[in-house]
A and B are shown apart, each in its own frame.
Chain A
Amino acid sequence: MISKLKKAKKRCINYRKRLLEISQKVQALHVGGSFSSVEAMDVVYNVLKKKNDKVILSKGHCGIIQYIILEDHKIISKKLLNSYCQPNGKLGVHPEVFTRGIEASTGSLGHGLAIAAGMAIANRKNKIFVVLSDGELMEGSVWETVLIISSLNLNNIIIVIDNNDLQSATRATNTHPSLYPIKEKFINFGWDSEYCDGHNSFDIYKKISKKKKNKPFALISKTIKGYPISFMKDVPMWHYRSPNKTEYKQSLKELEKYEK
């Protein structure tokens, strides 16, 4: 476990590099939100997930990061990933259940958690991991399901909320200040919940490992959209934009530096 965690930083940098590489071939992709969720996705897939556990990316717009991890696991081929958003390609922005390794099609926010709940009912022995965006918590369907999950004692559900505070153009702190505090809301809905530094793989792992066994768990992962690229960090424009050539080179340089 520890050795896997020690290699997390290197993996996360490689995932980001691969994403940037793909970004040069497509008109637009969700760099910002993908970069903010890399560490959480990495810990879930590479440290926590056991064979029959399920992972649902409810913030489907960051499907590219899930595909990159599946490629790393050799579940999908390099050739398939290279067809991402290309003519006649089999992969689009949002994950599709028809792709190997993808458990559910997502894309419209507020769907993944209920699907996970159904899976958790059918599959109580295994864990169901769900990665949500913080903006997604504005969807009423999320709270319908949050209430049901704890009421049905679906304690095998672990969700990670990518709390970068940015939607496509606005900041939740400004538009929905009452979204905060998030942790207390989950606790009051009968869940166990904790905050973590969403760019610290050890912290993500530690908080999930310490979850109460008799409750579903919500990890609020404090992240920065576009992390760790200086000109992308916390800038709304990078929700949906591909870097140009200069920005691409600059990003790669920054990632090299970040690695050291």
Chain B
Amino acid sequence: MRNKFSEELVKIANKNKSVHIVVADISPAGSMEKFQKKFKNRFINVGVSEQAMIGIAAGLSLQKKIVFAYTIANFSLYRPFEMIRNDLCYQKLPVTIVGMGSGTIYANLGGTHLTQEDVSVARSIPNMQILIPCDPDELSECIKYCAKNKKGPIYLKIGKSGEKNFTRNSEKWAFGKIRKIKSGYKTAIISCGPIIRYAFGAINNSSKDSVSIYSAHTLKPFDYNGLKKIFNKYKTIIVLEDHSYIGGLGSIIKESAYELKFKGKIHHLALKDDFLKEYSSQENLLKKHGITEKKIRKLIYK
């Protein structure tokens, strides 16, 4: 996803001279190299200074520039939290904060590098919008929106590398709308972010016609109308997210179920409220939190 991000941003920056990116110690040899080489004056590497990254992004935005602030998710959202709240959200500046390698992706780096509560934190700040694309193609759509956005800040939660595309033949992406990725008649899996691959992995020949998969890529503002339609159509809903069970997609859906008088069952696969340690792989860490394809498969047949 980080390569897709950089490719897409170069395209946009080619057309629009106002596009700037502020990064905190991202290796120029990595995915951002092309942008840096092409638009030297619009690439600002502040080094290991995340508070300054957000403050500078705010200053550029106050001068009407289109600004992206980009680094690994924990550094982009947690370290400069007050700058995000005061400089961006309070002043309602349309800066996109990109959290790369979000959720449990950096499992082998340990808990300091995970963002298992980022959505919960970002969601509660007024004026913040949140986008969580599930694959590189969806990310392209999100970036286009971010570059045009004038409403206020966006937290763009993305993956890292090697993500497959799932949405090529799906309905069109639209900001703020839950998107059906795959149709089925019985059970709906609602997810966001690259963990959607678990939903696809869980489907086999016998369940492929019965399961729908939705990408709730816009967490804020949330598509309550779209959710209502899903509630009316399915009796079983499985929510799948790479985030704490507190304050993320599952929270939104369960809160809405009460409001919208949903009578069916909701199964919620999310991270436990705990700093579990598993350094071998993201898959093994998610397993410790109880998230596996096998478990989703079982829930489909319940």
Contact = CB atoms under 8 A, between A and B. Distances in A.
A104 B62 contact: yes
Interface in B52-86: 52, 54-65, 82-83, 86
A142 to B, nearest CB: 9
Contact of A111 (B20, B22, B55): B55
B234 interface: no
Contact of B62 (A97, A145, A147, A148): A97
B83 A111 contact: yes
B99 to A, nearest CB: 19
Interface in A109-138: 110-111, 113-123
A244 interface: no
A100 to B, nearest CB: 14
Interface string A138-152: 001100110110001
A108 B86 contact: yes
B44 interface: yes
B90 interface: yes
Contacts of B64: 122
A140 B51 contact: yes
Contacts of A144: 46, 49, 51-52
A97 B92 CA distance: 10
Interface string B6-21: 0000000000000010
A118 B63 contact: yes
Contacts of B241: none
A118 B62 contact: yes
A69 B54 CA distance: 29
Select the residue from B20, B52, B54, B57 with max chain A CB neighbours within 10 A: B52
A105 interface: yes
A107 interface: yes
A147 B46 CA distance: 9
A115 B67 CA distance: 13
Select the residue from A117, A120, A152 with max chain B CB neighbours within 10 A: A117
A145 B49 CA distance: 8
B87 interface: yes
Interface of B: 20, 22, 44, 46-47, 49, 51-52, 54-65, 82-83, 86-87, 90-91
Nearest to B67: A118
Interface string A80-120: 00000000000000000100000111011011011111111
A123 B47 CA distance: 21
Contact of A118 (B51, B59, B86): B59
Contacts of B62: 97, 103-104, 115, 118-119
The B contact surface, by secondary structure, is: helix
A104 B92 CA distance: 11
Contacts of B51: 110, 114, 140-141, 144
Contacts of B90: 105
B52 A141 contact: yes
B55 A115 contact: yes
Given A97-B91, A111-B86, A115-B87, A141 B55 contact: yes
A107 to B, nearest CB: 7
A213 B217 CA distance: 49
Contacts of A140: 51
18 contacts: A105-B86, A105-B91, A114-B55, A115-B55, A116-B59, A118-B56, A119-B59, A121-B44, A121-B56, A122-B65, A140-B51, A141-B51, A141-B55, A145-B52, A145-B56, A147-B47, A148-B46, A148-B47
Contacts of A141: 51-52, 55, 83
Contacts of B59: 104, 114-122
Contacts of B52: 114, 117, 141, 144-145, 148
A116 B57 CA distance: 10
Nearest to B44: A121
B126 to A, nearest CB: 13
Select the residue from A108, A118, A152 with max chain B CB neighbours within 10 A: A118
A107 B87 CA distance: 10
Contacts of B22: 118
B83 A114 contact: yes
Given A108-B86, A114-B87, 18 more contacts: A97-B62, A107-B86, A111-B83, A111-B87, A113-B55, A114-B83, A118-B22, A118-B58, A119-B62, A121-B44, A121-B60, A122-B63, A122-B65, A141-B55, A144-B46, A144-B49, A145-B49, A148-B46
B41 to A, nearest CB: 8
Nearest to B65: A122
A147 B48 CA distance: 11
B52 to A, nearest CB: 4
Which 4 pairs between the two chains have the least Cβ-Cβ distance?
Answer: A118-B59, A114-B55, A122-B63, A144-B49
